[in-house]
Amino acid sequence: MGKEAEKAPAELSPGEAKTELKRLAKEIARHDQLYHQKDAPEISDAEYDSLTKRNKAIEALFPSLKRTDSPSARVGAEPAAGFAKVRHLHPMLSLDNAFTREDVADFIGKIRRFLGRKDEADIELNVEPKIDGLSANLRYEDGKFTIGATRGDGTVGEDITANLKHVAGIPHTLKDPKPPKLIEIRGEVYFPHDAFFALNKEREKAGEPVFANPRNAAAGSVRQLDPTITKSRPLKFFAYAMGEVQGWHNEPKLHSEAIDRLKKWGFAVNPKTRVAKRLDDALELYDELAKERADLNYDIDGVVYKVNDLALQNRLGFVGRAPRWATAHKFPAEQAVTTLNDIAIQVGRTGALTPVAKLEPITVGGVVVSNATLHNEDEIARKDVRIGDKVIVQRAGDVIPQIVSVVDADRKGRGKPYKFPEKCPVCGSHAVREEGEVVRRCTGGLICPAQAMERLRHFVSRGAFDIEGLGYKHIEAFYQDDLVKTPADIFRLHRRRLELLDREGWGESSVKNLLDAIEARRTIPLDRFIYALGIRQVGEATAKLLARHYHSLEEWQASMLAAVKDREGAAYQDLNNIDQIGESVAGDILDFFDEKHNLEALKALAKELTVEQAQAIAATSSPVSGKTVVFTGALTKMTRDEAKARAETLGAKVASSVSKKTDYVIVGEDAGSKAAKAAELGVTMLSEDAWLELIGG
């Protein structure tokens, strides 16, 4: 930061003001890009706001110095336009993280339990470096590279085919006389270190902004509308997985065989990939890679363990967005020491007050860090963090930086212990901590602008309504100007066309585009709708579970209202029974339905929207799709967990008690009262073998 940054606008000389406006224009444009196009903001919204405020204040004092590229004349950054959208045939999932050896042992333990293996049974693993680049999905039809896309939200990515054709390690045609009819190849695009340093040197010479790290350079190079730019950058690719495959010749049985096949086809595969017979061998490979890491010509941030047997992978399946059969063992975090300048309090959509450390900017593992999380009140007290202290900041992969500890706790003249505010810094309402909770929450509800705005921001976010052109910045501005106060207001914006047209920076076409984009979302799938509501602990995966279980908004709502009335009754049991929804999540869902203003918001939305019924996702052709099944007694061919997961993937609903609504009861050995109940109600009973036959083995 320049010297001018510390001066109040009124103290600046015209010369300093000019320099400062230039710096701010560049800085704000950079953050716009990080925020809107890279989805990787480096600063908080409050920090962003203070930058734009400062820019405006200086412009007001020195109107003649206002730049043609002034941030005040722009509304956000252009959307990442220009790339067509591509739907992946098979979703691109993420990986769970393990940080310690215990976490890894846990990962294996869960696999053994799920498969019903003995404790000491070995599970063969494939061990690969976790490349810190940009994942890509490549589609080959009859052996020809046809479409290449970014990961995007995991379901839909951006078409970057033209750019990927210039990346080394990606064959244009598979070297195979009998390639699969159709195949998706997954891997990572990365920027080699030597080329990265050379590129930054060149950019510096040319007065262009340098890339913060190789990952950013890779992302920036691949997401170029002009493929000749990508061509000029020496990007590389490592293939590490397959997505959808149709028409195999000689299907591999092991992941290691699949990797060999990728190599044979002409892909670059990582030369450090190994098979480990048992957990200890895998951990040894981890240690080796951790040592070699510094000498590699590319960034790795950990090791990925994958169950080598593809049939087992298939049986293990997924939980939410991550596979049960793989995990990422991360390398230890990188640390640095810097000064804690201030502690800011952010108010989230559920009213949680979160302390954020404002740091003297410092580079940690190649990324400039100026904010870190302090978690909560107790953490600040436990670490006795005080403003002005020197602190250790830690960054692990893509996790938010953290404050580990204070380094100069004995220093003379140290500040006072930090006192956590007991009032909401935004609306002034009391902020209370409920018993047993670590979080202090603002009690202002929707009268708190921070909460209301955060909910709106969540409502339009990517996994929720994802309205093109209606980013966070617009929502904030519309909220402040009373155009949008509640989610339903978004769908009433068309009635306020004239006011929109009156806004600075908006014209006929931008208003039309926005209103069209809103109209396009008037019909929405149930899971996205549920996620958009912003219920505590209900993320995208849980929203999907709920949608699949209840099928329609009406059924879900009716069932939740019944459960609110009787928190022990059948409707509650039904909710609590859904795999992966425990008491705590169920409690938060019911708390949501227990609030009058939430019901009003739902009603207002229902008037504006068509919420699509959820389909049973996979194989709707399965005879058990949409059926309610109950397992009872001991199964012999698979564990209860696996049976349940299989049934759910086929679109069945697994309940824990037998009722008239039950379609099948699968009766294992030594079944007791549930079998008797089924007999009494006349529900179809199946043996384990008959069930397996029904679902196709």
Query: Catalytic residues, which ones?
Result: 130
Shortest CB 241 distance to ligand IVH, Å: 5
- Does residue 254 interact with ligand IVH by CB under 6 A? no
- CA–CA distance, 308 with 298 (Å, rounded to integer): 25
- Does residue 222 interact with ligand IVH by CB under 6 A? no
Residue of 652, 614, 87, 645 lying closest to 320 (CA atoms): 645
For ligand IVH, the binding residues in 481-540 under the rule CB under 6 A are none
Instruction: Using the minimum distance from each CB to ligand IVH, give the nearer residue, 98 or 616.
Output: 98
Shortest CB 147 distance to ligand IVH, Å: 18
- Does residue 241 interact with ligand IVH by CB under 6 A? yes
Instruction: Using the minimum distance from each CB to ligand IVH, give the nearer residue, 273 or 370.
Output: 273
- Does residue 95 interact with ligand IVH by CB under 6 A? yes
- Does residue 128 interact with ligand IVH by CB under 6 A? yes
Shortest CB 80 distance to ligand IVH, Å: 19
Binding segment for ligand IVH (CB under 6 A), chosen from 91-99, 192-200, 375-383, 648-656, is 91-99
Q: Which backbone phi and psi does 6 adopt, to 5 degrees? A: -85, -15
Tokens of 338: 């810097």
- CA–CA distance, 462 with 80 (Å, rounded to integer): 13
Helix (H) or strand (E) holding 528: helix 526-532
H helices, E strands: number in the chain: 25, 26
Instruction: Using the minimum distance from each CB to ligand IVH, give the nearer residue, 54 or 130.
Output: 130
Binding segment for ligand IVH (CB under 6 A), chosen from 126-134, 242-250, 449-457, 557-565, is 126-134
Tokens of 344: 């800011």
- Residues whose CB falls within 8 Å of the CB of residue 45, separated by 6 or more in sequence, listed in order: 472, 476
- Does residue 131 interact with ligand IVH by CB under 6 A? yes
For ligand IVH, the binding residues in 299-338 under the rule CB under 6 A are 304, 323, 326, 328
Shortest CB 273 distance to ligand IVH, Å: 8
Shortest CB 94 distance to ligand IVH, Å: 4
Instruction: Using the minimum distance from each CB to ligand IVH, give the nearer residue, 220 or 323.
Output: 323
b/e string for 341-375 if b means 16 or more Cβ within 10 A? eebbbbbbbbbbbebbbbbeeeebbebebbbbbbb
Shortest CB 306 distance to ligand IVH, Å: 7
Work out whether strand 431-433 and strand 402-406 pair parallel, antiparallel, or are unpaired: unpaired
- CA–CA distance, 18 with 15 (Å, rounded to integer): 5
- Residues whose CB falls within 8 Å of the CB of residue 154, separated by 6 or more in sequence, listed in order: 88, 91, 92, 93, 94, 321
Tokens of 233: 């950058």
- CA–CA distance, 548 with 552 (Å, rounded to integer): 9
For ligand IVH, the binding residues in 632-671 under the rule CB under 6 A are none
- CA–CA distance, 563 with 107 (Å, rounded to integer): 34
- Does residue 279 interact with ligand IVH by CB under 6 A? no
Instruction: Using the minimum distance from each CB to ligand IVH, give the nearer residue, 318 or 506.
Output: 318
Instruction: Using the minimum distance from each CB to ligand IVH, give the nearer residue, 173 or 580.
Output: 580
Instruction: Using the minimum distance from each CB to ligand IVH, give the nearer residue, 135 or 200.
Output: 135
Binding segment for ligand IVH (CB under 6 A), chosen from 6-14, 127-135, 386-394, 660-668, is 127-135
Residue numbers at the binding site for ligand IVH (CB under 6 A)? 93-95, 128, 130-131, 135, 188, 240-241, 304, 323, 326, 328
